[in-house]
Structure 1
Amino acid sequence: MTPAARASRPLVWAGAAVFAVAVVLVLLTVVRPSAASTAGSGATEAAPAESSADVGFARDMSVHHQQAVEMAFLIRDRTTDASVRRLAYDIINTQANQRGMMLGWLESWGRPKSSDRPRMEWMGHPVTASDGSLMPGMATDTELDELRAAKGREAEVLFLRLMTVHHRAGAEMARAAAGSAVTDEIRHLAAGMARAQESEISLMADMLEERGATP
């Protein structure tokens, strides 16, 4: 290698290094979102406020669902009727799964799963508990004791009546959340929940009629 070639080699390396740095900077500019873009996406993904319908609904409906699952387990063990037991299993599986989703969202939003805020405050009409019934539609402690003591057709009719009232109130809450929530998760879940519970209300009316009872 000539002295001139040896002298020019550092300049070639330096030029290559500069080119490599330039390529990296271009790639970073293309791949990384701008600060404004990052800030904008953060704003759209912010957790709903503590006082929002999303948080209030997720908390309240989790409690509402918990009692529905409890009543479904009670009737499952107090009847041999296939249609009633099938309905009970559907309620257990569906509402336990939905409850888990709502509690998971509360955790992901950094919101506590329980609160001292009045139930249904997010709907504009806070309520207080009465005989263990924390919200409209929920069975009282007295009614749950009656269900525990009943068997056969008596238990079936009582369960269907209590669950019909439970579903009516639940569907009303779900429609309110579907109309006022800010997150897609709650809006979509609540809308589907309202439709499903209204369908089961119709089913339970038919089941009550088959047993010579009214809702």
Structure 2
Amino acid sequence: MSPALDRRTRWVAGSAVALALLFAGAATVASARGDGTQPVPRTPSSASADAGFARDMAVHHQQAVEMSFIVRDGTRDEDVRRLAYDIANTQANQRGMLLGWLDLWELPKTAPDGQGPMSWTTGGHGGHDMRGMEGMDHDGALMPGMATRTELGRLREARGKQAEILFLQLMTDHHKAGVDMARACARQCTVPAERRLAQGMVDAQRSELDLMADMLAARGAAPRP
């Protein structure tokens, strides 16, 4: 990521990180009360779905923010720029909340040794086949749906309609994998506020997937197979 892009990303996310600690504190205290019969643990473990989702989705969101800033510089189309702004703003704020939870729980932001991306999901990787990815260089793609370094380079170089189509295709892949990951947290996470956040991601990103399909069709293109 270029220094200028990194500064813009941190600027968008900055206030979210500070506010996230307040939201996370309230959410964790609320979850500790439970229902009087089966109280939810106050602090999830590092190997829990709660911590795993927070770590992995923070990484996933960071790339979505990066791609959104790249395309805003590559096109003047207001519809695409508006979508990119909405994605960057929403996902930067959500990323701040996820990192805030990890800070509050005093858990590392990197996975424990031996735990690969999305290893916290029941049945493995949110429905995605990750066999062979651990320990390998997949051109910078850390998880399913994430763009490779080569694809990010192509997006930076693209302009106009070419940039719009590539962004919409890459973000479609990104959202599909993000929806699967969020669904896994909605099923498995124990902190109620985190489950609600995950379900909100599912609903919002499914709506954006429909929008991006329409935008691709309007440009004579389609999502990648």
Corresponding residue of 2:56: 60
Which is helix-richer, 1 or 2? 1
111, 118, 124: which is aligned to 1:120? 118
* Paired residue secondary structure (2:172): helix
Partner Cα separation in structure 1 for residue 41 and residue 120 of structure 2: 21
Structure 1: 5+ residue stretches without partners? 1-36
- How big is each residue's C-alpha offset from its partner over 1:69-119, in whole Å with a ceiling of 9 and x where there is no partner? 000000000000000000000011000000000000001011111224311
79, 98, 116: which is aligned to 1:83? 79
Partner Cα separation in structure 1 for residue 220 and residue 61 of structure 2: 28
Q: Say whether the 8 Å CA contact 2:60–2:178 is kept in structure 1.
A: yes
1:71-150 to structure 2, matched below 5 A, reads 71-115=67-111, 116=113, 117-123=115-121, 124-125=124-125, 127-128=133-134, 129-150=137-158
Identical-residue share of aligned pairs (%) = 60
Partner Cα separation in structure 2 for residue 214 and residue 44 of structure 1: 44
1:190-205 to structure 2, matched below 5 A, reads 190-205=198-213
Partner Cα separation in structure 2 for residue 114 and residue 104 of structure 1: 14
TM-score (norm 1): 0.78
Q: Say whether the 8 Å CA contact 2:168–2:212 is kept in structure 1.
A: yes
176, 179, 187: which is aligned to 1:168? 176
Partner Cα separation in structure 2 for residue 198 and residue 102 of structure 1: 20
| Equivalent residue pairs, number | 176
Higher relative contact order (CA 8 A, sep 6+): 2
Partner Cα separation in structure 2 for residue 114 and residue 92 of structure 1: 22
TM-score (norm 2): 0.75
Partner Cα separation in structure 1 for residue 85 and residue 222 of structure 2: 23
Structure 2: 5+ residue stretches without partners? 1-32
State the 1:44 CA deviation.
3.8
1:186 aligns with 2:194: yes
Partner Cα separation in structure 2 for residue 118 and residue 176 of structure 1: 16
State the 1:45 CA deviation.
4.9
Partner Cα separation in structure 2 for residue 66 and residue 44 of structure 1: 29
State the 1:201 CA deviation.
0.4
Larger radius of gyration: 1
* Paired residue secondary structure (1:71): helix
AA of the residue aligned to 2:143 = M
